[in-house]
């Protein structure tokens, strides 16, 4: 699909590393002088933190499944609308979900508000004249009854560490940056499991490219791991959906030559050392972003 206003989405579970991958995209955008409109997936949650706690207690009392991973707790129709509207007009509305006091302080000073962590900022217009919409969050590739977000993304990238590693990353991040206890984080992981299987995982069959980090150190019991395995203690499997290599003109021979110690593990996958993930992303994604921007200019 080529569009006047391209939409790029990075999707992954909580703790997968989508914020980390967002930084790789930011480098590409800044180097290539591309102005993105950045949208964080959490801003499409349906509830603020207090209301979410109440809705969760209600659901629990009724024996219903309910979590931040599923459609009941998110505005998937609004997210699809944003992708579609941006694709057509280059506009749309966005807001922020304030996870921490630091995020609240940053946006309160920008907006002159007095919002607390766990609240949303008011909806605001996306700045005019951006080159690309860049979404980072849990749900860039969801499809379900009444919504098809995946169909509105021009480039969909999955960030999917192997599950044990994803949990280790989530436990560390939620504890260090969001102040949650290890027990509370494990409860959240357990509660979200049905929605993880039904709404998070299926997205990774719709993505153009998945980056899957796999540790090379023992993570058999992710709940007692003291440290997140480092990039050097991991490999990254880069998988292209059938047809994606052709669509984006990706030449595996070139990549294998340019990335030391990389190898093909299947006709559609190459494997790189964890420390080379950022480099590999830039090599693969920069020409794709160029293509999107060239197509945009052809239509303008």
Ligand X SMILES: Nc1ncnc2c1ncn2[C@@H]1O[C@H](COP(=O)(O)OP(=O)(O)OP(=O)(O)O)[C@@H](O)[C@H]1O
Ligand Y SMILES: O=C(CO)[C@H](O)[C@H](O)COP(=O)(O)O
Residue numbers of the site for ligand X (CB under 6 A)? 12, 14-20, 169, 172-173, 213, 228, 231, 277
Q: Are 203 and 71 in contact (CB under 8 A)?
A: no
Locate 234 and state its tokens.
């991991």
Partner whose footprint covers residue 49, from ligand X, ligand Y, none (CB < 5 to 8 Å by kind): ligand Y
Q: Is 49 in the site for ligand Y (CB under 6 A)?
A: yes
Minimal distance in Å, beta carbon 19 to ligand X? 3
Q: Is 55 in the site for ligand Y (CB under 6 A)?
A: no
Q: Which is nearer to ligand Y, 138 or 157 (CB)?
A: 138
d(CA 272, CA 57): 44
Locate 183 and state its tokens.
């027990």
Among positions 69-108, residues that touch ligand Y (CB under 6 A) are 97, 99
Partner whose footprint covers residue 79, from ligand X, ligand Y, none (CB < 5 to 8 Å by kind): none
Q: Is 46 in the site for ligand Y (CB under 6 A)?
A: no
Q: Which is nearer to ligand Y, 17 or 215 (CB)?
A: 17
Q: Which is nearer to ligand X, 180 or 248 (CB)?
A: 180
d(CA 226, CA 125): 42
Partner whose footprint covers residue 118, from ligand X, ligand Y, none (CB < 5 to 8 Å by kind): ligand Y
Q: Following DSSP, what letter does each residue of 87-130 receive, concatenated?
A: HHHS--EE--B--SHHHHHHHHHHHT--PPTT-BPPPEEPPSS-
Q: Mutual orientation of helices 277-299 and 18-31 as an angle, nearest 10°? A: 60
Minimal distance in Å, beta carbon 255 to ligand X? 18
Cα Rg, the chain, nearest whole Å: 19
Phi-psi region of 245 (alpha: psi -120 to 50; beta: other; left: phi over 0): alpha
Q: Which of 37, 82, 132, 138 binds ligand Y (CB under 6 A)?
A: 138
Task: Please calculate the CA angle 287-292-296 and round it to the nearest 5 degrees.
Answer: 140
Q: Is 191 in the site for ligand Y (CB under 6 A)?
A: no
Q: Which is nearer to ligand Y, 49 or 78 (CB)?
A: 49
Q: Which is nearer to ligand Y, 97 or 167 (CB)?
A: 97
Residues in the site for ligand Y, rule: CB under 6 A?
Answer: 14, 42, 49, 68, 97, 99, 118, 138, 178
């Amino acid at each position: 699909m080529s569009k006047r206003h391209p939409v790029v989405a990075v999707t992954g579970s909580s703790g997968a590393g989508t914020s980390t991958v967002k930084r790789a995209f930011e480098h590409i955008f800044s180097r290539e002088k591309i102005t993105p409109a950045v949208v964080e997936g959490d801003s499409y949650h349906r509830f603020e933190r207090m209301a979410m706690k109440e809705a969760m207690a209600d659901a629990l009392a009724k024996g219903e499944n309910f979590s931040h991973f599923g459609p009941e707790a998110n505005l998937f129709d609004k997210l699809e609308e944003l992708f579609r509207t941006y694709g057509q007009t280059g506009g749309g509305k966005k807001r922020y979900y304030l996870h921490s006091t630091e995020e609240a302080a940053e946006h309160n000073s920008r907006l002159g508000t007095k919002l607390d962590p766990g609240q949303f900022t008011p909806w605001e217009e996306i700045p005019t004249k951006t080159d690309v919409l860049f979404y980072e969050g849990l749900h860039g590739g969801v499809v379900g009854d009444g919504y098809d977000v995946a169909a509105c993304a021009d480039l969909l990238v999955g960030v999917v560490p192997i599950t044990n590693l994803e949990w280790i990353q989530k436990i560390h991040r939620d504890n260090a940056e969001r102040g949650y206890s290890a027990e509370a984080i494990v409860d959240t992981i357990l509660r979200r499991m049905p929605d993880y299987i039904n709404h998070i995982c299926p997205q990774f069959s719709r993505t153009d490219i998945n980056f899957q980090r796999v540790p090379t150190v023992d993570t058999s019991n992710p709940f007692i791991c003291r440290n997140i395995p480092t990039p050097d203690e991991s490999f990254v499997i880069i998988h292209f959906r059938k047809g994606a290599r052709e669509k984006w003109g990706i030449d595996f021979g070139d990549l294998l030559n340019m990335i030391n110690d990389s190898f093909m593990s299947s006709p559609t996958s190459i494997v790189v050392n964890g420390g080379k993930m950022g480099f590999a992303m830039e090599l693969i994604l920069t020409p794709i972003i160029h293509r999107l921007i060239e197509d945009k200019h052809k239509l303008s």
